[in-house]
Structure 1
């Protein structure tokens, strides 16, 4: 077990903020933990799940100076799920509900990362690298589904992942919910971490207009064109209306992070323009909106 500490000089609250980071091997758990450490969180790496309540008790002790705590856990160990569920039950009984972040990536990205460091997958055994990845993904399916936040690191380098972590976890203390709006191109695949997916291909494609082809949805001329099309503004307003009861429900269930994926063909024009407008429309003092244009620049 490795401990990285960044301690605050201020007295910690009775129940510190608590985040558990887990996920697929090679997806970037350590990078995510380091990014949180840089933000001032106290990070405990490679912690057995059964020790989560003891760690929380230490952090909440009157003499503790820890106000924000991160535990990185490896979910591949035998008996992990029973230990993890038992630990969460204990923590809930003590008035603490850690936010669980699941770090994921597609098979292609994981294979590339393992091959770049010339290491076998921990569950590979005598089989292929992909066999180990598939075995781990099958073991973690339920944990991924139950996590508060799934982060897809496919195609991200360590710096981009660190920035994504800072954008989502950092921010104003008054923020109760964070909505990550991810524009993407369907031809590059749907984001793995999307809670909701919307298709903007019902709108005319600016790609076929020569004057707009080389611009993006962040440029005023493309944004104006997309939003002036029949159905575009109506979609934004109806989406905002749809989200109101959903956001209230997410908050009542303790969800603090939602990822909404907005797609078009290449992820350059329509999805970008709509995601930008939705970010403006949904932002409130209690709801932070964060933009990620996943495929911008790939064409």
Structure 2
């Protein structure tokens, strides 16, 4: 038995959420990536010595022996193996977006006996819910294009050793809902809003002028300090717990000024403190008509 446990990532999620894109991204990171493996063959595969590199396995509804119960039993069994360092990656996606992706590609959905495609997508999402709640890493691909999903995969599973937690800091608009993958959410709507300043309205929170305006709010400095203090307190604890990924979200009304300002400033502070950080601005990153992850 190897002295160092072999890294294993089990990838799952609803069909159309980006499983193929995630598989390709992990393969590019040096993983031995195997797609659509029957659950019954996982343990025999892990017992085989194989190449000395991490492994990623996609297990999903396309295979007839797949079931949420069987998947979770496998997770429990592999978690007991001292030769394996297991993580579960779950790719989530809003049913409406999955329906749009299927409609554009004309692919067949794995749940063939559903009355309609929308019913099949809803059934699969509900069946996978117990797995989503057990995932070590959950990435919502609803708003991501393939390039952005690959970047998220690289941020979480590439670069620094697996024991180092990856942090995503993002901004969003409350009008479009809180990001499903967010672990920690901060509301910035109480800060003064640059939207009401004509000269600042066309800009966003990446602009020094907007950041300076938001920072002039008497409550800003204390809020930023308390938020950063809380995050820096929680990150080591999350890492000790075994988490490999933590998503922190800042929200405001439009997702353009105040939330972006806080996300930018906190990302910079965390990076300067030595943490592995990626930044995403959900509303600013929207690009109509781009290809969806497969």
TM-score range, shorter chain: 0.7 to 0.9
> Residues 180 and 292 of structure 1 are in contact (CA less than 8 Å); yes or no, is this contact kept in structure 2?
yes
Identify the residue that residue 98 of structure 1 maps to in structure 2: 86
Identify the residue that residue 292 of structure 2 maps to in structure 1: none
Q: Secondary structure at the match of 2:85?
A: coil
**Do the aligned partners of residues 194 and 120 (structure 1) sit closer, same or farther apart at CA in structure 2, a change above 3 Å counting?**
same
> Residues 206 and 213 of structure 1 are in contact (CA less than 8 Å); yes or no, is this contact kept in structure 2?
yes
**Do the aligned partners of residues 215 and 129 (structure 1) sit closer, same or farther apart at CA in structure 2, a change above 3 Å counting?**
same
Matched, 1:56 2:42: no
Q: TM-score, normalised by structure 2?
A: 0.87
Identify the residue that residue 291 of structure 2 maps to in structure 1: none
User: What displacement does 1:285 show?
Assistant: 6.6
> Gapped runs of 5+ residues in structure 2?
288-294
My pick for the range that moved more, 277-286 or 90-99, is 277-286
Identify the residue that residue 196 of structure 2 maps to in structure 1: 208
Identify the residue that residue 207 of structure 2 maps to in structure 1: 219
Indicate which of 40, 49, 60 corresponds to 1:74. Answer: 60
Indicate which of 22, 34, 41 corresponds to 1:32. Answer: 22
Identify the residue that residue 283 of structure 2 maps to in structure 1: 295
Q: TM-score, normalised by structure 1?
A: 0.86
My pick for the range that moved more, 278-287 or 152-161, is 278-287
Q: Secondary structure at the match of 2:218?
A: coil
In 2, distance between residues paired with 1:113 and 1:215? 32
User: What displacement does 1:75 show?
Assistant: 4.7
**Do the aligned partners of residues 285 and 233 (structure 1) sit closer, same or farther apart at CA in structure 2, a change above 3 Å counting?**
closer
Identify the residue that residue 9 of structure 2 maps to in structure 1: 19
**Do the aligned partners of residues 119 and 92 (structure 1) sit closer, same or farther apart at CA in structure 2, a change above 3 Å counting?**
closer
Indicate which of 82, 85, 95 corresponds to 2:72. Answer: 85
Identify the residue that residue 194 of structure 1 maps to in structure 2: 182
> Residues 179 and 287 of structure 1 are in contact (CA less than 8 Å); yes or no, is this contact kept in structure 2?
yes
User: What displacement does 1:66 show?
Assistant: 2.9
Identify the residue that residue 259 of structure 1 maps to in structure 2: 247
Name which structure has the greater RCO, CA cutoff 8 Å, separation 6+: 2
Deviant stretches of 4+, over 4 Å: 75-79
> Gapped runs of 5+ residues in structure 1?
1-11
